[in-house]
Chains A and B, each alone.
Chain A
Amino acid sequence: MKRSVVNFIFKNKQILLIIPALFLLFIILTIRSCISDRSDSFEFDKSAELLVDLKDKDQVDKLEDLLKKYNAKVLQAFPQVQDADITELDDYYTVDVEDQSVVAKIIDEINNSGLADEVEYNETYKLSPIEQKTEESDENSNFKLNSLNDPFVSKLWGFELMDIDNLSSEIVSAKPKKKAKIFILDTGIDADHEDISDNYVSLSKKYDEDTGLHGTHCAGIAGAVSNNKKGIASLNFTGDFTSITSITVLPGGFGTQEAIIDGIILAADNGADVISMSLGGPSSDKRQRAYEQAIEYANKKGAIIVVAAGNANENALKHVPASCKGVITVSAVDKSLNKASFSNTVEDIELKVAAPGVNIFSTTPNDEYKSLNGTSMATPYVSGLIGLMKSFKPKLTTAEAYRILNSTGIDTKDTRKTGKFIQPYVALSKILR
């Protein structure tokens, strides 16, 4: 990491000037803090009602003149900022008034004066309460699956909503046309996990351990060994329908677009039927084009690509590969079929569905199990289902798979933003009939 920062610095000569200035700034601030014991000098003036972003800080006298009649006190909000080249914080001023009834008038006057870019109530800058995630308790789950003997299956609340009991009873004796290969492009997979190893096919030893826990968690959702009296279950009820293979593209959870695209190509070249990608980042035209070329390549080689919508609670169009053509994008919902608070929305995505993504119990390295939240968790549910569908219809295309998932899915509390919630039993019956 140190080396990459150094490389970055030398590639960008202007940083050579900025970095020392920033360090100097911190040293000055620290000394000031020690001498005057004013370590709270970063605090906003808490009593101030307004925060004003002046167009030109040299006009602060004009602002003071303007507000003199209100007996307002104008103070620089961030007096410690000294290098105006790297921040606009030095343009911010607080306005403190005793008479609260004139605050609205003052805002109007400042806005009409043309002195400020922005005037806001100071409270706007206070932090919002930390959002409570919609974590749900496992203990309330009381459903039971008659067809599966895995001990933690009752923790898989999604199985009840997806009618997995009927599905497994129906197809447990069915003979698939092939064992569909599901490739998980992630942090790696603990290939020795007690609830994964029998369904695991190694591409290379270097991918057979998890550099975190994320890849192993996704792998369990997509293809944990079922009916083995251990851990959880997946839609691979007998072990004959799908296999799991790992390609590590995000060691430690982070990586480059190039590594991901390499992973897509590697999976496609190794016969992937489904490529499951619980990953992503901000989109750009350039990035989108590069992904779409790799996706098209994989689609042409017979792979269906399933990707996570992303976790920024914004339009998935802003994320890749979620917004790429040729993929099925998955949003996350909770037990009540509400959109998960973190899930990106998919209203502008062409091929989109919803799956469970809150409090999802699955495998983690070293034969352990854990509940996680994220659109990453929703994605392998869809990958596992499409793998199952492909095991009975190997030439299933992305468009066909989506048409089935969408037409058989059920509404969520906000289907426009989430897409339809998958219904594996009905979807598979469309393939089998």
Chain B
Amino acid sequence: MDPEIKLFVGTISFEDLEGGYWALTDEKNNEKYMVRDISEELKKENLRIAAIGQEFSNEMSIYMVSKVVKLIQYRILK
């Protein structure tokens, strides 16, 4: 299945699982997405962003989370 492109508005957090990863919790539905290849600029706890990203629903990984997103464009919000 091809990745789905979505608009996200949410907050960044660090998840201390399987060695750790950065996640984005979408305010729309409170869903937590693991962020793939997150930029250094976004690696800040509680950072609020708006972003367009590809959601991967078939990702196999060591993290074993439900949802994975790769951000295409983002903007940091106040």
A26 close to B (CB within 8 Å): yes
Interface range, A side: 35 or more
A135 touches B16 (CB 8 A): yes
Is A195 in contact with chain B by the CB < 8 A criterion?
no
Interface of chain B: mostly helix, strand, loop or mixed: loop
Stretch in contact with the other chain, from A121-129, A146-154, A266-274: A121-129
Chain B residue nearest in CB terms to A125: B27
B42 interfacial by beta-carbon distance below 8 Å: no
Contacts of A128 in B (CB 8 A): 25, 30
**Contact present for B60 and A280 (CB under 8 Å):** yes
For the complex, give the distance between the alpha carbons of A294 and B18 in Å: 25
CB under 8 Å from chain B, chain A span 287-339: 287, 308, 310-312, 314, 318-319
Do A374 and B17 touch across chains, with their CB atoms under 8 A apart? yes
Number of A-B contacts (CB under 8 A): 139
A26 to B73, CA, bound (A): 8
Q: Which of A12, A89, A259, A374 lies in contact with B18, CB distance below 8 A?
A: A374
Collect the chain B residues with CB atoms within 8 Å of residue A279's CB: 60-62, 64
* Residues of A with C-beta under 8 A to B3: 8
With contacts A212-B62, A254-B61 known, is A89 near B28, CB below 8 A? yes
**A282 in complex: contacting residue of B6, B25, B57, CB < 8 Å:** B57
Q: Provided the pairs A22-B73, A213-B19, A281-B59 are in contact, do residues A308 and B64 lie with their beta carbons within 8 angstroms? A: yes
* Chain B residue at minimum C-beta to C-beta distance from A364: B19
The chain A residue with its CB closest to the CB of B9 is: A42
Smallest beta-carbon distance A291→chain B, Å: 10
Known: A89-B7, A279-B60. A312 touches B18 (CB 8 A): no
Is the Cβ of A311 less than 8 Å from the Cβ of B28? no
The answer to whether A312 and B66 touch (CB under 8 A), given A43-B77, A281-B59, is yes
Known: A22-B52, A135-B16. A253 touches B63 (CB 8 A): yes
The reply to whether A187 and B78 form a contact with Cβ atoms under 8 Å apart is no
Most buried by B among A15, A128, A312: A312
Mask for A249-282, Cβ within 8 A of B = 1, else 0? Answer: 0100111110110000000000000000011111
List 4 tightest A-B contacts by C-beta distance, closest first.
Answer: A310-B64, A281-B60, A374-B18, A312-B66
Taking A1-B37, A376-B18 as known contacts, 9 extra A-B pairs with beta carbons closer than 8 A to each other, sorted by chain A number, are A33-B75, A89-B28, A214-B62, A250-B61, A253-B19, A253-B62, A254-B36, A255-B60, A311-B64
